[in-house]
Structures are given as structure tokens and as C-alpha cells.
């Protein structure tokens, strides 16, 4: 039956080859179905195994999520300070840290961890993050209910006695016994997993088999992270085989999980859609420039602008400028009509200077080949405001708009940029950060080898054998990042 099979393939396309669940009402979250129409098809086929795993997870989340009997029972145990044996449902509760890009990377990492360890992912949604994302799991919610007993983010820090590393130090959890022999009911009611970097390293005793067996016994885990720790899960031996089945192409981890989890709400989607339709929908090529200046490494405007222009020239990202047209013959005008091609440059930056200069350049002079270059910047917020909801809506909209670009050039170290290129499935050009003692970088930009984000803080993998190894040297699927030499990236 031809029409039936056509219908199936259309709906499969809409659901990104089975990545998305068919169980949602479309109008409640339009971006889920519309956003990908603004992009080229994904270059990374989805493994049927991952699709299956997601459907199983959704059923589990529905069974154990907020509002269910099982959830109420689990919270009751937590309040009573008990960690029951053989619990049917286990949870990992994500707490926020840093800006939106960081948060999206850590939510995706925590979700991957939840998939690998059979936990339900719940999110502590702070006011500034409210109303940004649609619910990703049908028939349930990933929002941590307000009456959750351990709801105080200030208790979550490296020194917290409930942190797993501190439990090991204080012998609440023993390091010298076979973890599989420890009864769950002998453990505290929850564990805090601190996956925040300390001096650009993630703690030991997290990405190790024995520790994971022990951690698996806690029914409640609270996790806070500032790092894209998904690559570290690939370095944990017990997860390796499962991950290989889920991600035959390892560089597509965030690409798939991000497209599965994050869907801007209709309100944010309105911003994205209006901007896209007004400025980007009808151009021949879209090039995104994301310029991020970090307070810990300030770079002067002139130096950053010069580096961006060097990158543009060296990589031939934009047409060269010609000399101003003379009011002469038709022949001159015809020679460079560029076939009417229009290239859009989309600039994401807190400041308007880059936009002003690049726009001015293509306003005052023609291009050599006659192509038209149109330059746009959706907002320039000047200041980073972690706690403003409106500011975050714009940030999210810009991450999405960047992710519709055919080519992306981004600032080194920026998780904002990582999310955008990874959604797009496009390898970006990275504007390298000058060395700590220099104001400029000799190399303007390098092409990323992968569409995966970079983990800035490599894990210490001493584990119980206390061997520290350079994993990039021994694992064929991780590399050091182009922009963060000691960072790690799947490829």
C-alpha cells in the first residue's frame, strides 16, 4: 500500500527517524516538529537501539515520575531517611549550575547517565529557567515537584557530607569492601554526586566500576555539574558496551540527545520562528558567528575582531570585498552579479560592535563576486544575566538560530557555541583563545574534528587501582579538544 508507506515515512521524518515519541500533542510544543525543518537533515543516522531505549525510558518515567504512587512512596522513604532494598524506581535529581549552554550540556549528560543506570531524571527548575523547555517525556513531567525534601541548592558543594567522595572519606561508604555485597538498606537515603570541576578536573571515584556499583544502590541521587561529562561515561568500563550499541557514531551523542530533550516552548519558539522567517528563511547560505568574551580572559575588541576577520579570510567564509562600483558600463555590473546569491551572517554576541563593523563593511563596499552579504544580530544584551528569565529566552532563541546555520564560527571554550553546532551537526571553526600571557592568538581558527561538545575538565580516573592515564592516548574514540588542550571530546 503505497499511500500508507508514504504516510509512515512522513511521520517518521517528523519524528526524526524515531528519535521523538509519537505520543505528544503537536500544538502544545510546536518546536518539536518544526525546528528541524529549518535545518538540513541530520548527517548521523539514529541507531534503532537508542530509539528503543528512549521508548523504554519514557515508559519508566511515566511509571515512576511525579504524581505517581511510586514517586510518593520514594519521597516518603527519603523523608524518613531510609534507602529501601529492591526499590522499583530510582531517581537522579539535576541541580543547575552556570549559564544556559552549561546547563543544557549537563542536563544531557545527566540524562545519559540516567539511561545507563535506570534512573528517572528530574530537574530542579529555577525561576530563570521556567518556561524555556517543553516537557520531553510524554504523559509525565521532568520538573522536580516543589515539595521535594532536599530542595536547597546551597547544600550542594564539594564539602557537603552527603557527597559520595566525602562519604568515602568519612567511611559512611566503605572503599575496601566488595560493593555488590553491601545491602542498600545500610546506606543513607540519598547520595550527592558532585560532578563539578575543581581546578579543571572532575573528581575521582565517579567514573569507576566499583563506585558505580555502589552508587547504583542509592535510590535517590542528587547531582550537580558544570561539565559536559558524557565523554567520561564512555570511559567507565561497565558502560562501554551499552554505549556502543546506543551510539555507533560516538560524535553524535549530544546531537541526538539534545535534539531529543530540548524543545523550546511555544513562547520561545515564537521568537525563533519570527526571526528566522524575517531574516534567514530565504537566503542561500547562513553563516553563524558566535563571539563570547569571558571575564577570566578578556580580549580587546580590536584583537577579537581582527582574529575573526583573519579566520574569515583564511577559511574563505565570506566573499571578498571589491572596490566601490563605478558609474560606468553595464559590463562592470554584469561581471559580478553573483547570480543573485545572498549570504546571511548571523551574529550572536552580548555586544553590538562586531555586527556594526561587519555590516558596515558590506554596506560600504560591494563584494568581488557580486554576492550580497546580509548581516544580522538578534540581540545584544551587554551583560550576562544568569538569573533573568527573559534574558535566558533570548539566549535560547540565539542558540537555536545559530544551529540553523550552514557554517559556524565560534569562540573557544563556549558551551553556548557547543550546543549550537552540535544541534546543527556541523563542525565549527573555533576561534582559539590566546595563551594566558598573550593578547592575541597566532592561529586565528581551527576546524573542529567532531560535532561533539568538549568536556573541559577531564576526570581523574585513578579509581581503586590508583593509576592515572591519559585516556586520549588509550581510547580510540576520545581526543583532546582543539580549544581546550587538556579537555576531552568524543569523535
Q: Which residue's CB is nearer to ligand GDP, number 203 or number 415?
A: 415
- For Cα atoms 358, 359, 363, give the angle at the middle one, nearest 5 degrees: 120
Q: Provide, rounded to whole angstroms, the least separation between the CB of residue 271 and ligand GDP.
A: 11
If one asks whether residue 288 binds ligand GDP (CB under 6 A), the answer comes out as: no
Q: Look at the chain and count its residues.
A: 491
If one asks whether residue 98 binds ligand GDP (CB under 6 A), the answer comes out as: yes
Q: What residue has cell string 572596490?
A: 323
If one asks whether residue 293 binds ligand GDP (CB under 6 A), the answer comes out as: no
If one asks whether residue 197 binds ligand GDP (CB under 6 A), the answer comes out as: no
Q: How far apart are CA 468 and CA 202, in angstroms?
A: 13
If one asks whether residue 489 binds ligand GDP (CB under 6 A), the answer comes out as: no
If one asks whether residue 60 binds ligand GDP (CB under 6 A), the answer comes out as: no
If one asks whether residue 101 binds ligand GDP (CB under 6 A), the answer comes out as: yes
Residue-wise over 346-365: b if at least 16 C-beta within 10 A, else e?
A: bbbbebeebbeebbeebeee
Cα atoms in the 13 Å half-sphere on the side-chain side of 141: 11
If one asks whether residue 414 binds ligand GDP (CB under 6 A), the answer comes out as: yes
Q: Provide, rounded to whole angstroms, the least separation between the CB of residue 126 and ligand GDP.
A: 13
Q: Provide, rounded to whole angstroms, the least separation between the CB of residue 381 and ligand GDP.
A: 5
CA dihedral over 313, 318, 320, 321, signed as positive or negative: negative
If one asks whether residue 389 binds ligand GDP (CB under 6 A), the answer comes out as: no
Q: How far apart are CA 328 and CA 325, in angstroms?
A: 8
Which of 379, 389, 427, 486: binder of ligand GDP (CB under 6 A)? 379
If one asks whether residue 395 binds ligand GDP (CB under 6 A), the answer comes out as: yes
Q: Provide, rounded to whole angstroms, the least separation between the CB of residue 341 and ligand GDP.
A: 27
φ, ψ at 28 (rounded to 5°): -70, -20
If one asks whether residue 423 binds ligand GDP (CB under 6 A), the answer comes out as: no
Q: Are 361 and 312 in contact (CB under 8 A)?
A: no
Q: Which residue's CB is nearer to ligand GDP, number 77 or number 98?
A: 98
Q: How far apart are CA 220 and CA 193, in angstroms?
A: 10
If one asks whether residue 394 binds ligand GDP (CB under 6 A), the answer comes out as: yes
Q: How far is CA 50 from each of CA 47, 223, 449, 456, 467, rounded to the nearest angstrom?
A: 5, 24, 24, 26, 33
Which of 75, 123, 348, 430: binder of ligand GDP (CB under 6 A)? 348
Q: Provide, rounded to whole angstroms, the least separation between the CB of residue 117 and ligand GDP.
A: 25
Question: Could you tell me whether strands 445-447 and 458-459 are parallel, antiparallel, or unpaired per DSSP bridges?
Answer: unpaired
Q: How far apart are CA 459 and CA 202, in angstroms?
A: 4
If one asks whether residue 286 binds ligand GDP (CB under 6 A), the answer comes out as: no
If one asks whether residue 483 binds ligand GDP (CB under 6 A), the answer comes out as: no
DSSP string, 425-481: T-PPEEEPPPPTT-SS-SS-EEE-S-SSPPBSSEEP--TTTT----HHHH-TTEEE-
If one asks whether residue 110 binds ligand GDP (CB under 6 A), the answer comes out as: no
Binders in 115-154 for ligand GDP, by CB under 6 A: none
Q: How far is CA 70 from each of CA 80, 88, 110, 148, 304, rounded to the nearest angstrom?
A: 15, 8, 21, 14, 54
If one asks whether residue 289 binds ligand GDP (CB under 6 A), the answer comes out as: no
Which of 124, 292, 359, 433: binder of ligand GDP (CB under 6 A)? 292
Element holding 289 (H helix, E strand): strand 285-291
Stretch that binds ligand GDP, among 215-223, 311-319, 354-362, 412-420 (CB under 6 A): 412-420
Q: How far apart are CA 339 and CA 282, in angstroms?
A: 15
Q: Are 430 and 442 in contact (CB under 8 A)?
A: no
Binders in 318-337 for ligand GDP, by CB under 6 A: none
Stretch that binds ligand GDP, among 54-62, 92-100, 208-216, 315-323 (CB under 6 A): 92-100
Q: Which residue's CB is nearer to ligand GDP, number 280 or number 350?
A: 350
Q: Which residue's CB is nearer to ligand GDP, number 236 or number 414?
A: 414
As given in the structure block, the three cell numbers for residue 202 are: 572532575
Q: Provide, rounded to whole angstroms, the least separation between the CB of residue 201 and ligand GDP.
A: 18
Q: Which residue's CB is nearer to ligand GDP, number 25 or number 382?
A: 382
Which of 150, 205, 265, 349: binder of ligand GDP (CB under 6 A)? 349
Stretch that binds ligand GDP, among 269-277, 331-339, 344-352, 468-476 (CB under 6 A): 344-352
Q: How far apart are CA 165 and CA 175, in angstroms?
A: 10
3-class DSSP state of 57: helix
If one asks whether residue 384 binds ligand GDP (CB under 6 A), the answer comes out as: yes
If one asks whether residue 97 binds ligand GDP (CB under 6 A), the answer comes out as: no
Size of the site for ligand GDP (CB under 6 A): 20
Q: Provide, rounded to whole angstroms, the least separation between the CB of residue 181 and ligand GDP.
A: 42
Q: Please give the residue ranges that form the binding site for ligand GDP (CB under 6 A).
A: 98-102, 292, 348-350, 379, 381, 384, 391-392, 394-395, 398, 414-416
Amino acid at each position: 500500500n503505497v499511500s500508507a508507506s508514504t504516510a509512515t515515512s512522513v511521520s517518521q521524518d517528523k519524528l526524526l527517524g524515531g528519535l521523538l515519541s509519537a505520543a505528544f500533542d503537536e500544538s502544545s510544543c510546536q518546536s518539536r516538529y518544526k525546528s528541524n525543518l529549518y535545518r538540513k537533515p541530520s548527517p548521523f543516522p539514529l541507531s534503532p537501539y537508542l530509539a528503543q531505549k528512549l521508548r523504554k525510558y519514557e515508559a519508566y518515567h511515566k511509571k515512576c515520575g511525579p504524581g505517581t504512587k511510586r514517586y510518593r512512596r520514594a519521597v516518603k522513604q527519603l523523608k524518613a531517611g531510609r534507602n529501601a532494598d529492591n526499590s522499583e524506581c530510582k531517581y537522579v535529581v539535576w541541580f543547575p549550575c552556570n549559564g544556559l549552554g552549561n546547563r543544557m550540556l549537563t542536563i544531557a549528560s545527566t540524562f545519559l547517565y540516567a539511561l545507563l543506570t535506570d534512573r528517572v531524571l528530574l530537574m530542579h527548575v529555577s525561576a530563570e529557567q521556567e518556561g524555556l523547555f517543553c516537557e520531553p517525556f510524554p504523559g509525565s513531567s521532568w520538573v522536580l515537584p516543589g515539595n521535594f525534601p532536599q530542595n536547597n541548592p546551597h547544600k550542594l558543594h564539594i564539602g557537603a557530607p552527603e557527597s559520595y567522595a566525602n562519604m568515602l572519606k568519612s567511611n559512611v561508604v566503605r572503599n575496601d569492601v566488595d560493593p555488590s555485597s553491601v545491602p542498600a538498606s545500610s546506606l543513607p537515603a540519598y547520595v550527592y554526586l558532585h560532578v563539578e570541576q575543581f581546578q579543571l578536573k572532575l573528581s575521582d571515584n565517579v567514573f569507576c566500576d566499583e563506585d558505580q556499583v555502589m552508587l547504583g544502590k542509592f535510590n535517590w541521587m542528587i547531582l550537580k555539574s558544570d561539565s559536559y561529562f558524557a565523554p567520561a561515561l564512555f570511559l567507565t568500563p561497565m558502560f562501554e558496551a551499552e554505549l556502543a550499541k546506543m551510539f555507533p557514531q560516538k560524535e553524535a551523542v549530544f546531537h541526538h540527545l539534545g535534539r531529543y530533550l530540548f524543545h523550546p516552548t511555544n513562547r520561545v519558539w515564537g521568537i525563533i520562528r519570527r526571526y528566522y522567517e524575517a531574516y534567514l528563511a530565504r537566503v542561500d547560505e547562513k553563516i553563524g558567528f558566535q563571539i563570547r568574551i569571558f571575564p577570566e580572559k578578556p580580549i580587546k575588541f580590536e584583537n577579537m575582531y581582527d582574529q575573526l576577520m583573519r579566520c574569515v579570510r583564511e577559511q574563505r567564509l565570506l566573499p571578498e570585498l571589491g572596490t566601490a562600483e563605478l558609474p560606468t558600463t553595464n559590463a562592470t555590473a554584469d561581471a559580478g552579479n553573483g547570480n543573485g546569491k545572498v549570504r546571511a551572517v548571523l551574529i550572536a554576541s552580548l555586544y553590538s560592535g562586531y555586527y556594526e563593523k561587519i555590516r558596515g563593511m558590506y554596506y560600504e563596499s560591494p563584494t568581488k563576486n557580486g554576492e550580497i552579504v546580509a548581516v544580522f544580530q538578534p540581540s545584544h544584551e551587554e551583560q550576562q544575566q544568569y538569573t533573568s528569565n527573559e534574558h535566558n529566552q533570548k539566549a535560547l532563541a540565539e542558540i537555536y538560530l545559530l544551529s540553523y546555520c550552514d557554517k559556524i564560527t565560534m569562540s573557544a571554550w563556549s558551551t553556548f557555541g557547543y550546543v549550537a553546532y552540535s544541534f546543527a551537526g556541523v563542525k565549527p571553526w573555533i576561534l582559539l583563545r590566546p595563551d594566558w600571557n598573550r593578547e592575541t592568538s597566532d592561529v586565528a581558527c581551527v576546524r573542529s574534528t567532531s560535532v561533539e561538545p568538549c568536556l573541559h575538565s577531564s576526570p581523574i580516573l585513578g579509581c581503586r587501582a590508583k593509576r592515572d592515564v591519559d585516556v586520549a592516548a588509550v581510547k580510540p574514540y576520545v581526543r583532546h579538544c582543539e580549544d581546550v588542550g587538556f579537555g576531552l571530546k568524543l569523535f
